[in-house]
Structure 1
């Protein structure tokens, strides 16, 4: 048994014993020599000068912590955060069979989908214009515009508008409503009369939750559209539709194109694994950089559509390497999209819908926050 070097003295009658766990108070030594025996001040309170109270000032930056005193403890939330409820698969089955008593949470793949949906549904303050263009035709430009627009319309509460500004007889209306319609030229001619959404609806067509402004099936009339007319039309539709998608065609040097690109916030460039399809997409980005639209080239999204059955001689990794500094999404080959008929999200393969949703999320990442 170890012996403490300090002896415990029994408490005397004048000194009460200190209970275990109590804090002993040190005796106060009354040093009379430090206290003057006679006051040098007058005992008359009237003769004393009043000393004004001095204000207490805090140090800059707040009150400094006292050494040896712990800072306040930040408490954890009192309510536990619940796991997200799985929507499919075995995890969902376990949740349902146990009446919710066992919640395994969502899988990694479902968590990724939920995260992407959150990005896609983030608030849009102001207007955002997305333009789909490429130097090469027949490269899934219109189908990409439709797929992404339909995804936005399905998953967002605000209004989404897809516009056909292809001067070469675009087929946006045919791929969405199954009819060859005209709208943009008539709207451009009567744009000054638009005062309400009812006035504007005379030139539009709605499919599900997506609204479409048809193009001009007559190439001669489509070629006659000017940049000034485009600006007037865009200004009119922007009053009622904040999320706007433009199918712009292949005529990148057309007189209307400078007006379109000047108002564009995000460019989606369709590409393919074919040699010409990949090179033309890369050339489109280079053209943007050389012609004063570097801001669009740097933030572009490349939709690499696997629509062409290329041989094994094509190095797909080398094709993807043509776009090193931009977002690239591979859209798988889908018979429903390749048919050239009316496109419907519900009839597409799951992987195709996922690809369009990822493109939409990348576009939404560029929404204005201010």
Structure 2
């Protein structure tokens, strides 16, 4: 083994006491090296410190580790430094799209009501919308009422109520009109005057017919007041049950505190229409003025939902002013002749000229075709004229009961007459406000 020595290793030439007896192996090469080695041998080697050579790219960005004394820096003149600050670019964070969980797969029958009508159990949780009435209560056919109208009623009877075809188309149309008449009202009574400037056109008959159609269909109370100062005949259209008149109501108004008190002064028709008669004495009739009408109207408004007023031909009478001030709608009656239609149109003109234009636009014209001369004129032209001025027009056909000028039995009227009366009542009701003041 050859050991190389240099100047840096001179201090390691002397070994410790344990190595003093070491024998130079070179001098005795023939001897057994292994037998002459000591039990322990320590060699110390001092190597030079490794110097790290930094790459040039590191030196270019290296910071000198020499502290700088700020006071040692001398400047000839103050210098300025401009620093440009670039704000960081704000990147708007896009909202993450909502994650919509997938619907549970399987059991397609659970997604409809039909799949649950037989008590089938879903393999996945059901939504609250699955608790439908037809599922919980049971699928039962809605029972129809007894059908009305010819063949359908006959089939229902001969099959012992097993086959119910429902109502006939005519009955369905009639019930639709009755539903319009049965309109619900909130608030006080609705006032409907029936008027025209021409006498003898059936104004009183139309008032009674309209009141009967309303009373027959509606569940509330209907009254018709005869406010004709020329001795009206409205009470003669029903079976009279009392001799009391509007004058008696005015006289006894302070003592009338209930509906029962008021009903003792009216006559009631089979349709439940109440009629309050006018005075039979012409002298007393002329004394019935605006103030008297207001007393009667105030009492009627306490007990009735709809108040019809049969007005006289005296359109400038004080009662007419009180009637129109309370009116929610008006019915203008016209006959089928030239002069009757012209006078009815002049009534509309008078109303417009006196500030009742809204009533005219909402008015209904009842064209009574039972008057003389109706078959000689073109009713379509009369209707076209009035349709340009009012909301609607209704023909009232000839009926022997109406032409007789006596008591009207509503149930015995011809079907066409009843249908016309119902249509008139429906049109009038359509024009009445559902809420008082609306």
Using structure 1 for the length normalisation, give the TM-score: 0.75
How far the C-alpha of 1:223 sits from its partner, in A, is 1.7
Correspondence for 2:179 among 106, 109, 118: 118
Structure 1 pair 95–269 and aligned structure 2 pair: CA distance change class (3 A): same
**What corresponds to 1:150 in structure 2?**
212
Offset from partner CA, 1:60-85 (integer Å, 9 cap, x none): xxxx9977979x98889735666665
Name which structure has the greater RCO, CA cutoff 8 Å, separation 6+.
1
Please point out which of 234, 250, 261 is paired with 2:313: 250
- Superposed CA deviations along residues 121-176 of structure 1, whole A, max 9, x for unmatched, are 22232311111100101001000111111222222221111111000100111222
Higher Cα Rg, which structure: 2
Deviation at 1:338, TM superposition (A): 0.9
Distance 1:68 1:321, change over 3 A: farther
Q: CA deviation at 1:105?
A: 2.8
1:342: which partner in 2?
Answer: 407
Structure 2, unaligned runs of 5 or more: 1-96, 104-110, 113-128
Deviations 1:227-260 (A, max 9, x none): 1221121111211112211111111110111111
Aligned residue among 359, 365, 368 for 1:296? 359
* Alignment-derived partner of residue 346 in structure 2: 283
1:357 correspondence with 2:422: yes
- 2:261 corresponds, among 199, 210, 222, to 199
User: What secondary structure, in the 3-state scheme, does the structure 2 residue paired with 1:104 have?
Assistant: coil
Partner-residue secondary structure (3-state), 1:112: helix
Residues 301-339 of structure 1: per-residue CA shift (max 9 Å, x gap)? 111111124375522211111211421111111111111
CA contact (8 A) 1:180 1:217 kept: no
User: Contact 1:178–1:342 at 8 Å: present in 2 too?
Assistant: no
Q: Does 1:106 align with 2:171?
A: no
Could you tell me which residue of structure 2 aligns to residue 321 of structure 1?
Answer: 384
In structure 1, distance between residues paired with 2:408 and 2:99: 70
1:269 to 2:332 alignment? yes
Tell me the secondary structure at the aligned position of residue 239 of structure 1. Answer: helix
Contact 1:173 1:181 in 2 (8 A): no
Matched, 1:308 2:376: no
Task: Give RMSD over aligned pairs.
Answer: 2.6
8 A contact 2:148–2:166 mirrored in 1 = no
Q: Is the 8 A contact 2:214 2:425 kept in 1?
A: yes
Q: For 1:1-370, list aligned pairs within 5 A.
A: 78=134, 79=139, 85-125=146-186, 126-177=188-239, 181-208=243-270, 209-310=272-373, 313-324=376-387, 325-370=390-435
Aligned to 2:90: none
TM-score, normalised to structure 2, is 0.64
State the alpha-carbon separation in 2 of the partners of residues 255 and 69 from structure 1: 78
Inter-partner Cα distance in structure 2 for 1:263 and 1:151: 22
| Contact 2:201 2:335 (8 Å CA) reproduced | yes
Over 3 Å counting, the alpha-carbon distance change for 1:182 and 1:250 in structure 2 is farther
Q: How many residues align?
A: 306
Counterpart Cα distance in 2 of 1:269 and 1:213: 21
Alpha-carbon distance in 1 for matches of 2:295, 2:327: 15
Pair 1:219–1:108, CA change in 2 (3 A): same
1:135 aligned counterpart, secondary structure? coil
2:149 touches 2:168 (CA, 8 Å); kept in 1? no
Deviation at 1:193, TM superposition (A): 2.7
Relative to structure 1, is the Cα distance of residues 186 and 65 closer, same or farther in structure 2, using a 3 angstrom cutoff?
A: farther
